[in-house]
Structure 1
Amino acid sequence: MKNILLFGAGKSATSLIDFLITNAPRQKWHVTVADQDLMLIKSKTGKSYYATPVELDIKNQSARHQLVQETDLVISLLPPALHILVAKDCLHFHKNLLTASYIDPEVKKMQQEIEKAGLLFMYEMGLDPGIDHMSAMKLIHSIEKKGGQIFSFKSYCGGLISPDNLDNPWQYKISWNARNIVLSGSTGAVYKEKGKIRDLSYEQLFDHNKTIQVPGIGKLAYYPNRDSLAYMEIYKLQEIATFMRATLRFPDFCEGWNALIKLGLTDDSHKIQTDQLTYFNWATQNLEGNKTAEPHEEFVAQHLGVSSKSKVIRQLKYLGLLNGDMINHGEQTNASVLEALVQDKLRMEPHDKDMIVMMHEIEFERRSMATRMHSYMIVQGEDNVRTAMAKTVGLPLGIMAKLILQDKITLKGLHIPVMPEVYNPVLKELEEYDIRFEESFE
């Protein structure tokens, strides 16, 4: 019997754990799930004979080593900064590794050692990054095989709340790691548009968002995501005029988040003392002018250049930023205070359903005819536990694990899923779970 070790049992792990346990009898494998929260693991593994829950402090090297040493394949759904601990263990004990996170500089330094050891470290094997790469490369290869020449590529993805559950002024609820949401976009974005390199700072990102139409959903806002240029070579589209990867949100979210950035509330660089500090005084800490002892929304509105009756002020009030309640969380960064707020105020209720929307827009020329192609995917969650986010992040990892343990993937080295031997079988099996793309042409 093969053994699979999963680090992390958080929001994105639910569907992966379900997949691994459901397939265990037929595939003859056993799953060990390690997390610092034992009760959380047990809530997801139940009483399955094929799953072992393990309470683990990930920084406990000896306990971590013992788990890695005894397994055949490792999957990590830990926070991105902790993957390197697992990656080094996998290299040391000669184990293959799967994760949904971006390739980071530290693991990049290990690339030659991974190849030399004959191991497969497959990063970016989730939703975004993950399904976006696989579906995009399938389209790109198909167009090129038919003689098409691509001159514009745009890819959009967003973890959203279902339109049926849009019951707050943010038009957003938390379906994945709240900290990742708070820090999303903080490094700015670089992309290529009509032959020119565009470099936007964090402060500019949400100020420049535009909109696209998604069939069945309507208008969604987008903002460029990280460093799009890094993928031009990977996608073999170095010469095209436009290349952009972007994040989708309902339009109201972007306007409100822009206000939080302007207030400096997403900063994670230094700590402040929050004991005996009101949310209003915290929210206005970077604003100059006469502050009253009582919350004064006109003061905030003036600095943001909006009306005190505006949607933005309603959003800030919804988070509790304009009241006199005390924070009392000790020393925290602004981002940490905001993380706790959005985790509470924008949480999904048990009946809420989330939604994943992904769209590729590719413009190409074939036989002197210009064509614009849209390929889009919409996935709905079941509730606040079995979410569309968990489904689309976890299932690609589970399917990839199965392919590796069945010896159907012979790839070695440090990779992301852009090759046919990976994307063809994974995308095909995802369709069995209603994760599929529709296409239209103009």
Structure 2
Amino acid sequence: MLLGNSLFSIQLALLNVVEIFYDCCHKNSLIINYVSWSPVGAIRAGRNPATYKYCGETIHIDGKILVSWVRISRKQQTGWDSIYDSATRIRIADFPAFALECLPNRNSLLYGDLYGIGSEASTIFRGTLRYEGMVYICFSQIMGTLSRIGFFNNETHPLLKNEKRPTFRKFLLKLLDVASEDPEEPMIGEKEIIERILTLGHCKEQSTAVNTAKTLISLGLLEQEEIPTSCQSAFDVACFRMEERLSYAGTEKDMVLLYHEVEVEYPESQITKKHRATLLEFGKTVNGKTTSAMALTVGIPVAIGALLLLTKKIQTRGVLRPLEPEVYIPALDTIEAYGINLIEKNE
């Protein structure tokens, strides 16, 4: 049996779904909020190296030049040099309205070994989804520009070493190579930031510069407020402001999206079968208390695993993955009883 596109696993967590369109237009230019996963973890996850298999070829990607699996051939031609520059748009068949983009997630080849398809599968890919946003806003483009400005540099910045703390505004202007503001001239605002971003070559498109400038302003990085002593690097400053400005409000809920696609080719009959499984979960509010979708989809399976051990339904001992029937069959039945269901389709 020959497997083509045999394992395709994509995950998405922490997507603002309640005020998503409001945020796109007014409040949150990044179109993402953080509820149970800190900005530090989210940004660093996008900088991890990745390995996957595509059409029989093993692809290794350094974390500093993380690219989309679909555009690997284009990378070889144009030389992508940024983490987010080559994020690929993707649409899930069961939820085509979701505007998503995808990046490879760490070592996908592990799944080939775990599922026993490593030698047969021509493609094994695991990715992370991000909300792409409206037509005129792209998460990866903004993040890529912020990275080139220097906001993801985790080395101690000279301006942040002193006891006398700079303001967020002064620090931003330093990163944009603006020596100082002329008191006789109007204060630097969005228009000047856009021009500076383009002049320094941090991005090529006017629309990206505009959206990045709006993001910097919405995060409060142009305000005359002192940076706390806990921030020693540009990365610290960015994460501090993101955690302040992008935390979930009481009326907002998160969303978890999981998508698996397995395509199997049978050479003798020339039949190709495609199996898809999609999970969509939202945070739930009961009696005024909201539980995040991330907490539900992580916490409930862990609790079920503990229950199966206590009731001795799992006889095998040691550290186990949920790949054995004695684990996943009763676990899936119980998870469904809690209302967490996969949409499964075969073509």
Same fold (TM over 0.5): yes
Separation (CA, whole Å) in 1 of partners of 2:318 and 2:240: 39
CA contact (8 A) 1:377 1:436 kept: yes
CA contact (8 A) 1:157 1:248 kept: yes
Aligned to 1:259: 145
Aligned to 1:210: 88
Aligned to 2:33: 173
- Written as runs of structure 1 = structure 2, the 5 A alignment for 1:16-415 is 149-152=2-5, 153-166=7-20, 167=23, 168-178=28-38, 179-205=40-66, 206-214=84-92, 215-216=94-95, 217-239=97-119, 240-251=121-132, 252-270=138-156, 273=160, 275-283=164-172, 289-293=177-181, 295=188, 296-297=192-193, 298-303=195-200, 304-305=202-203, 306-307=205-206, 310-330=210-230, 332-366=232-266, 367-383=269-285, 385-415=290-320
* 3-state DSSP of counterpart to 2:329: helix
**What's the CA shift for 1:353?**
1.0
Gaps of 5+ in 1: 1-147
Separation (CA, whole Å) in 1 of partners of 2:328 and 2:47: 30
Separation (CA, whole Å) in 2 of partners of 1:344 and 1:199: 35
Deviations 1:133-172 (A, max 9, x none): xxxxxxxxxxxxxxx6432211001113243321222121
CA contact (8 A) 2:33 2:248 kept: yes
CA contact (8 A) 2:16 2:32 kept: no
Q: Amino acid of the residue matched to residue 279 of structure 1? A: F
Aligned to 2:73: none
Separation (CA, whole Å) in 2 of partners of 1:388 and 1:379: 6
CA contact (8 A) 2:231 2:237 kept: no
Q: Which moved more, 1:236-245 or 1:262-271?
A: 262-271
Q: Amino acid of the residue matched to residue 211 of structure 1? A: R
Q: 1:406 to 1:285 in 2, by over 3 A?
A: farther
Q: 1:315 to 1:327 in 2, by over 3 A?
A: same
CA RMSD across the alignment: 2.5
**What's the CA shift for 1:327?**
1.0
* 3-state DSSP of counterpart to 2:297: helix
Separation (CA, whole Å) in 2 of partners of 1:269 and 1:228: 30
Q: 1:227 to 1:268 in 2, by over 3 A?
A: farther
Separation (CA, whole Å) in 2 of partners of 1:177 and 1:164: 18
Q: 1:269 to 1:189 in 2, by over 3 A?
A: farther
* 3-state DSSP of counterpart to 1:161: coil
Q: Amino acid of the residue matched to residue 129 of structure 2? A: L
Aligned to 1:105: none
The number of residue pairs the alignment matches comes to 294
Deviations 1:303-357 (A, max 9, x none): 3224276222222221123444321324523333222211111110011011101
Separation (CA, whole Å) in 1 of partners of 2:8 and 2:111: 12
Q: Amino acid of the residue matched to residue 253 of structure 1? A: F
CA contact (8 A) 2:103 2:129 kept: yes
* 3-state DSSP of counterpart to 1:160: coil
Q: Amino acid of the residue matched to residue 241 of structure 1? A: S
Q: 1:187 to 1:218 in 2, by over 3 A?
A: closer
Separation (CA, whole Å) in 1 of partners of 2:274 and 2:170: 50
Separation (CA, whole Å) in 2 of partners of 1:175 and 1:330: 21
Q: Which moved more, 1:268-277 or 1:190-199?
A: 268-277
Q: Amino acid of the residue matched to residue 380 of structure 1? A: F
**What's the CA shift for 1:176?**
1.5
Q: Amino acid of the residue matched to residue 243 of structure 1? A: I
Separation (CA, whole Å) in 2 of partners of 1:382 and 1:199: 39
Separation (CA, whole Å) in 1 of partners of 2:320 and 2:166: 47
TM-score under structure 2 length normalisation: 0.76
Q: 1:324 to 1:429 in 2, by over 3 A?
A: same
Q: 1:270 to 1:237 in 2, by over 3 A?
A: farther
CA contact (8 A) 1:159 1:175 kept: no
Separation (CA, whole Å) in 2 of partners of 1:333 and 1:347: 21
CA contact (8 A) 1:185 1:226 kept: no
1:430 aligns with 2:335: yes
CA contact (8 A) 1:271 1:331 kept: no
**What's the CA shift for 1:271?**
6.2
Aligned residues: percent identity?
26
Deviations 1:194-224 (A, max 9, x none): 1222222333332221122122342311111
